[in-house]
Structure 1
C-alpha cells in the first residue's frame, strides 16, 4: 500500500511568523496534534506539536509570562529540519520510520512541496485494515515448512472449503528457519472445520488451541 492512499491531504499549516497563540488556537479548534510550518512557496521548514506548545507555555497562574510567550513567533519553538516522506513510499517502509524515530506524524512532500500528512494514528488504522481485524473473522495460526508450494497448498484447502481469506501474514519461527508462522484471517465464525482440514494435511495448528478433552 502506498502512502498516498492513507495520507490526509487537507493539512492545517501556519507560516513561521504566526504566533504561539495562533498555533494553540488552531490545535484546539481543529483537534489536531501537529502543525507543519511552511513558507510562501509551500515548502515545509518546520513542524510544531501540541507538546511543543504546551511545554513552551508557562503556568496559567503566571498570566503575564503566559501572555508574553504566546506572542512569540512559532519559529521559536518549531522542530527543524523535518523528516518527510513521499506519496509513493510504501506504508510498510514508513512504519519502520515511525517505530525507529518514535514520530507522531510524518509530512508528505512531493516536488519539494507539502501535499499531505500521515500520523501514527493513521498508521495504526491502516494496520487494522491490512490485518483484517476490523471485519468479522477467525484467527488461525499455522506452523508451515519454509519451502515453495506450501502457501498454494494452504490456499487450495481454503478453496475446497469455500472459505475466503481476508488477510495473510507470515512471521519468523523462533524455533528455527525451517518453518514459518502463517497467520490467516478467515471469513468464517466457525473455524473448526478448516482447522481440522489443515491439521489432517499435516500442518501444526498454533491457534485455535484444541478443545480440552477433544480427540
Structure 2
C-alpha cells in the first residue's frame, strides 16, 4: 500500500504571514491539530501544531502575552525545516518514520509541491485494512518453521476446506528464532474444522485455543 492510497488530498494550509490566531481558528473549525505552511508555489516551508502554539505561550496567567502571541505571524513559531514524504513511498516505510521520529503527521510532497497529508490516524486505518480486521472474519495464528515455501504449504489447508483467506502477515516467534508466527484472517465464523487439520500436522495452532476451551 502506497502513501497516495492513504493520504488526505484536501489539506488546510497557511502562509507564513498568517497570524497565530488564524491558525487556531482553522484548527478549531476543521478539528485538526497540524497545519503545513506553504509559499506561493505550494512548497512546504514549515508546519505548525496546537502544541507549538501552547509551547509559545508563556503563561495563561499573563493575558497580555497571550494577546501578543495571537497577533504574531505563524512564521515566528512554525517548525522548519520539515520532514516530508513522497506519494509513492510504501506505507510500511512511512510507519517506521512515524515510530522512530515520534511524528504525528507528515506532509506529502511531489515535484516540491504539497499534494497531501498523512496522520497517525491514517496509518492506523491503513493497518486495519491490511490486516482485514474491518471485515467479518476469524483470526488464526499458526507457529511454523521459518523456511522457504512454508506459507504456500500452510495455505493449502485453507484451500482444501474451501476457506477464503482475507489477509495474512507474519512476525518472528519471540521464543524460537528458527520459527515464525503466521497470522491469518479467514472468511468463516467456525474455524474448528481447519484448526483440527492443523493440530494433526507439524504446525502449532497458537490461536484460537480450542483445546483449552474443551477442557473447561
Does residue 71 (structure 1) correspond to residue 78 (structure 2)? The answer is no
Match of residue 110 from structure 1: 110
Local SS of the residue matching 1:139: strand
Match of residue 14 from structure 2: 14
Q: Distance in 1 between matches of 2:36 and 2:184?
A: 39
Query: Within 5 Å, which residues of 2 pair with 1:122-161?
Result: 122-161=122-161
For these two proteins, the number of residue pairs brought into alignment is 214
Q: Distance in 2 between matches of 1:12 and 1:213?
A: 55
Per the normalisation by structure 2, the TM-score is 0.94
Q: Distance in 1 between matches of 2:4 and 2:208?
A: 36
Q: CA deviation at 1:174?
A: 2.1
Q: Distance in 2 between matches of 1:177 and 1:58?
A: 52
Q: CA deviation at 1:114?
A: 0.6
Per the normalisation by structure 1, the TM-score is 0.95
Q: Contact between 1:57 and 1:70, CA under 8 Å: does it hold in 2? A: no
Does residue 204 (structure 1) correspond to residue 204 (structure 2)? The answer is yes
CA-based RMSD = 1.4
Local SS of the residue matching 1:211: helix
Q: CA deviation at 1:25?
A: 0.3
Q: Distance in 2 between matches of 1:178 and 1:92?
A: 24
Q: CA deviation at 1:73?
A: 0.5
Tell me the alpha carbon deviations over residues 62-115 of structure 1, each in whole angstroms, 9 at most, x when there is no partner: 333222110000011101100000000000001000000000001000011110
